[in-house]
Each structure stands twice: as C-alpha cells, then as structure tokens.
Structure 1
Amino acid sequence: MDIASEGADQFLDAVCVVKIMTAASAALRKREPRWKRHSKFLAALNEGNVPMAWTLLCGCEEPLVDPDVRIMTGGEYKPAICIAVEKDLLDMAELLIMCGCSVNQSSPTGLSPLHIAVMRNNADMVRLLLKSGASVSCRDSNGRTPLHQLAVCNYEIARLLVQKDGKTEYRDRNGATPLALACKGHRALALCLLSLGANASAGDNEGNTPLHHTCAKVPNDEELVKHLLAAGAQASGSSLAARGSQRVSQLVPVWTKNSAVVTCVGNPRQPEAARRSQNRTLGQLA
C-alpha cells in the first residue's frame, strides 16, 4: 500500500509540474503576440491606419492593445495619444479617446497631448482634447502650461485655452507668464493675449515685466510698447535682473535707440496727445 501510495503521490506531483509548465508556456505564448500587436499598432499610428488601430484596440482577437500604451519612438516611450497628436491624426486621437485613453498623460519631457496640439497650431485637436477633459493647467518639465507654448499667434487656440478656466497668468519655473514670453519675439501673440485680458504688469522671478522684454528687443517695437502701456503696464516698475532697481523709464534709453519708445515710456514732458494715446483702449489703438 505504501509503495502504491508513494507512486500515486509522485504521479500527482508530475501532473502539477506539467500543469505549471503548460500555464507558463501559455503565458509566454500570450506575451509574444502582445509585443507583435504593439508593433502593428505603432505601424497603424505611423500610417494613420484607423481601421487597423480599431481592430487592435477594440476587436475580438486577444490580447487587445491598451489605449494608454506607451510605445518607444524617437528614443523615448511616448503615450499613443501623444504620437497621434504629433502627427495631427484627429481621427486616431478620437479613436483612442473613445477606447478610454487618458488625455492628461504626458511624454517623458512632460508634454501633454494639449501642449503638443497647441505647439502644432491644431485648433481642431485642441478643441477635441478640451472637450474630452484635457487640463489647461498641466505643466511640462519647465513648468510651462499649454498657453506658454503658443509659438505662433492663433487667436482661436488662445481663446479656447483662456475660455476653459479664465486664466492667463500661469507662470513657468522662472515666473514668466505667456505674455512675457510672447513679448520676447511674438508680437501678434502678445497683442492677442492682451486682448484676452493678460496682465501687462506681471513680473517674473527677477522682476522683469512684459514691458522690460519689449524694450530690450532689437529692433524695438514701439507699437507693442504703446499697447502694453494702454493695457496698464507700469513704466515705474523695476527690473531686478537687468539694472538692479532702476525704473523702466531709466532703462529704456539704455536698451533702445528708438527715440519714439524713449518718449513713450521715459519722457514726463511728452506731448498731451501722446499721453492721451496711452490711456486709449486696445481697440482704439489698433
């Protein structure tokens, strides 16, 4: 009886081992097609092949691709939604969102789909992402929001972002607002942000205001200076980084050779007509 019992136990142990190995083998076989399906999905993304992507995301064949999958491309793992937005694939982005993709994921550099859509100047994509719950306050690795990323003037995109939560005063790690960045070289965008209510006197961590940045540009932008003053920029503000505690009116002659800008900001005896023009609205100045 003992020999028979021992043999039975050995047989059961062997059966258990076989079952474990079979399960492990099945898991291994299941893992392999997942990698293959990820490769197929990346190909579908690159080609904009929505039907193929739908089959991989929502079809009947297991395993399905996770809509939040991160795929190695360009030397980093990026969320599929970020890749779709980079390629301006609106239908692909809609499919990913329909399948449950999170619209507030970010790339390794902190760029969200909304950051990328704004940088791509794609108003339709921005509209889709906002409608799907994208956050306008998300920040990249430099602390910048999508509004900071408006590389070109697109009034519609700027309006959509501001309309979402009514804010134009997001600050990056240096304390710079979108208006301050725009005043360094994107005049049309600066005017656009001013028309949406941006604070013309907001200083960064070093005390530099949009007016400082505008006066420091070469060539100088007299019209933008006038618009900033009309919007409430203070000529008595100080720039800690540029000239200690000097006033803007003292800095302008140092920074600019444009006599009109010097007159506009730094001359207390400017003609009455010029002083009146500073108090006019943006609409009147335009």
Structure 2
Amino acid sequence: IYEGILVETVFAYFFLSKWLERKSYIDDLFSLDPDLHRRLLSLKHSTENIENLSLYFTIATEESGVTKTVDLIPNGQNIAVTGENRLRFIELSARYRLNVQIAEQSEAFLQGLSQFIQPRWLKMFNQRELQMLIGGTFAPIDLDDLRRHTTYGGVYHTDHETIITFWRVINSFYRWQKHSLLRFVTSCSRPHVLGFKELVPNFSIHDDGSDENRLPTSSACVNLLKVRDNYFLIYLFISRWANVPLPWLSFLCMYKREGQMREMLLEAVTFRAGFDSS
C-alpha cells in the first residue's frame, strides 16, 4: 500500500475490519467460516424445540490437527442452549471465531502494519475500498488506458509491426485472458483503481530475440513483457518458399504472425504464469 504496489491476495472482509479497528459481527463470519455462519443463522431462525438439539455453550476448535472443546462462558459445557438464550449463544460463537481465536495472530500482523502505515490513514476507507488499495479494482481492463501508459524497448516502438499485432491480439482476448496477461506481467491480475498511470514502473514490452520456439516471458518485478520479434523471419520464410504476389504475401505474414502470437501468449500466461517465467 505504502509503495503503491498491488498484490494478488484478496483479504477476507472480517480481517480488513481489524485493519480499520472496527468490531466484527456475525455477518462478517461468512468470510471466515461459511459453514458455521450458515448453522448459526439456521439456529437463529429455527422453529424447532432448541433443547432437542443438545447444544451447549461450547465451540469446537482444531489446533495442530487435534479437535478440542472450548467453553464460551464459565462452565459452558454444562449450560444448555435454549430458545431463550440462543441469541446469546450465536453472539458468543461468532465473537470467538472472529475475535478471540485469532487475536494473537491478528495483533502481531497489525503491529507490523502500523510500522509502515498509520492506522488513522486507513480509517477513511471501508473494507471494499481498502481491498482496492491493496489489490486493485475488479473492473474490466481498459486497454486504451494500458496502451497509453505502455513503454517499449529494444527494436520496438509504437508503430512496430509486432507491437501493432500485439495490441490487435490482446484486444481479441476474453476478459479473463486479459487479466491473466496482466498478472503474468505485473504479478497482479487487477488494474490500479486510478488507472495504469499509477503502475510503477510502466507496463513495458521489449524484444526477446528471434527464436521461433521461445514463449513470451516476463519480469514481474519491473512490469516487463518480453516478446520475440518474428515478423521479418515469417516474411522471409514465406517470400522464399511461396510464390505469391506481394499483397497476398503481406496478408499471409499478418495472418501467420497474429495466430502465432495469440497461441504463444495464451500458452505463456495460462500455463506458465508466475516468477518462474522471468
């Protein structure tokens, strides 16, 4: 957050509430323990005789693979849950899971966070806004904005044939494929809430030799995509071995180049995404 670097992790809302120094309630329990949340709501709205459920003021927890029972109130193992006290039981169960059980770990994290960011800076946001600061917006990728803030290196420039082909191919991608490409290059699949002008350093594309078998690679630490330049190799191959007129030759080069780039980009971002492809 401090350096403006987005991360792929999506934090649960109950945990983000702790960043904001806000209390967590049963509605927040869904993001931590959906099954317990469902069972507690079912108990709240049940029309059955609650005493028949044989519930007590305890909760089961697991530590190091061992399940144990914890009293929610003193002598809770001997106090049955009834129709009259079930709301108290629901409140205590949610409180234990959201606050008591993870208190030590949460406190350690928040102490570390406060070394870099003042807690009062975060209090102006809600959980959703805070998540966008951490990991970007879930909105579709604006390719026009990305293109405006992309830089090029090596032999590449805005009007280079390979770059023109690259943007044509990316524009044809499905939404999830565009997000996969962004994650491949920047390590986060979501764009900054203020747009790609906030991406530091800029999204960059650099040539990567002319080995026709080499897949695109990335250096996510500097937001760099490395793509081979095969335009002239394809042109030379077709012109040498195929007796076709020049206009058709240019069309064949474009068609082959786009098809190869699409195939290799998708293979790279789908099956090789991550730092191991740098």
Which band: TM-score by shorter chain?
A: under 0.3
Larger RCO (CA within 8 A; separation ≥ 6): 2
Structure-2-length-normalised TM-score = 0.20
Judging by fraction of residues, say which structure has more helix: 1
Rg bigger for which structure? 1
